[in-house]
Amino acid sequence: MDFKVGVGKSDFAALRESGNYYVDKTELIYELVNDTDNQVTLFTRPRRFGKTLMMSMMEN
């Protein structure tokens, strides 16, 4: 069985359509969006850690 992992991809729609595997972060996104205690959410992670892909996931 051959697994395709979308390493380096930052567009969620293209990643999903290409049939690659990805980590489903929808529960995390739900918690971030519905957290009314914070006015600002800051994503601080190293390079190539999935920040742009997660933002694209929220957009789509």
> Secondary structure of 1-60 in the HEC alphabet?
CCCCECCCCCCHHHHHHCCCECCCCHHHHHHHHCCCCCCCCCCCCCCCCCHHHHHHHHHC
What are the pLDDT digits (tens) for 10-53? 888 888 888 888 777 778 878 877 877 877 877 787 887 778 88
Residue 3 lies in a domain: no
Residue 6 lies in a domain: no
Residue 17 lies in a domain: yes
Domain membership of residue 37 as a residue range: 12-59
Strand partners for 5:
21
Residue 27 lies in a domain: yes
Domain count, the chain: 1
Q: What is the pLDDT of residue 7?
A: 77
* C-alpha span between 23 and 51 (Å, rounded): 12
Q: How confident is the model at residue 1 (pLDDT cuts 50, 70, 90)?
A: low
* C-alpha span between 31 and 55 (Å, rounded): 14
Residue 43 lies in a domain: yes
